[in-house]
Amino acid sequence: MSPFLFWLFASLTVIFGAAVVINRNPVASALSLVASFLGLAALFMSLDAYFVGIIQVLVYAGAVMVLFLFIVMLLNLQAEERRRINWLAAAGGITVAVILLVQIAVTIGRFEAARQAFPPLARSTDDVWNIGALLFSNYNLPFQIVGVLVLVATIGVVLLSKREPR
């Protein structure tokens, strides 16, 4: 992957990620999140993880974002009215986030392996086959537990959105 493409998609992901937080209108935030996830999917593909990249587009940019947009439009949320911003709390939140970022950057700077380039792959990766083989051998129990989790989530959502009988 050329460095130009990497920095293009990385900046796309980060800029639209920041737009999610900055935008006042929830619809604009949701659309920025779609753009951010598409950039992230491109980054996954640049790491030869084609399966994960495609799952990212299908599940996140597809299903999850449709859910978000549907709820935003169902609740008919407008842009938040400008409330008086508590500057002290805002400064505190930004400070904690910046401290976290500095910590991460310093840790990466001290990490020897982080300065190495990625080793070349010996052959083309058939990653769907490999991930599937792992899912059904080493990770079979977690896979089935996740299946139960999704079932429970489905039932829970139906129960939660049922109207209470009065």
Partner 1 sequence: MVTLGDYLLVSGVLFSIGFAGVMLRRNLIIILMSLELMLNAANLSLVAFSRFRVDSSGLPNYNAQVFVFFIITVAAAEVAVGLAILVALFRARQTTDVKDISSLKF
- Examine residue 144 and tell whether it contacts partner 1 (CB under 8 A): no
User: Residue 161 Cβ, how far from partner 1 at the closest point, in Å?
Assistant: 5
Residues 99-138 that bind partner 1 (CB under 8 A): 100-101, 104-105, 108-109, 111, 113-123, 125, 127, 130-131, 134-135, 138
84 lies in the binding site for partner 1 (CB under 8 A): no
Contact string (CB under 8 A) for partner 1, positions 15-54, x = contact: --xx-xx----x--xx--x--xx--x--xx--xxx-xx--
Q: Are 79 and 23 in contact (CB under 8 A)?
A: no
Query: Is residue 64 close enough to count as binding partner 1 by CB under 8 A?
Result: yes
**Which DSSP category does 34 fall into?**
H
Compute the least distance from the CB of residue 122 to partner 1, in Å: 2
State which amino acid sits at residue 108: I
Q: Which pairs from 78-82 meet CB under 8 Å and 24+ separation?
A: 78/25, 79/24, 79/25, 79/26, 80/24
For partner 1, the closer CB: 111 or 165? 111
Question: Contacts for 15-21 with beta carbons within 8 Å, 24 or more apart?
Answer: none
**Shortest CB 119 distance to partner 1, Å:** 5
Helices 140-161 and 127-136: crossing angle, nearest 10°? 90
Q: Per CB under 8 A, does 97 bind partner 1?
A: yes
The token pair at 76 is: 């008919």
How many residues interact with partner 1 (rule CB under 8 A)? 83
Q: Which of 98, 144, 165, 166 binds partner 1 (CB under 8 A)?
A: 98
Binding of residue 73 to partner 1 (CB under 8 A): no
Structure-token pair, residue 120:
């070349």
Residues 47, 127 contacting (CB under 8 angstroms): no
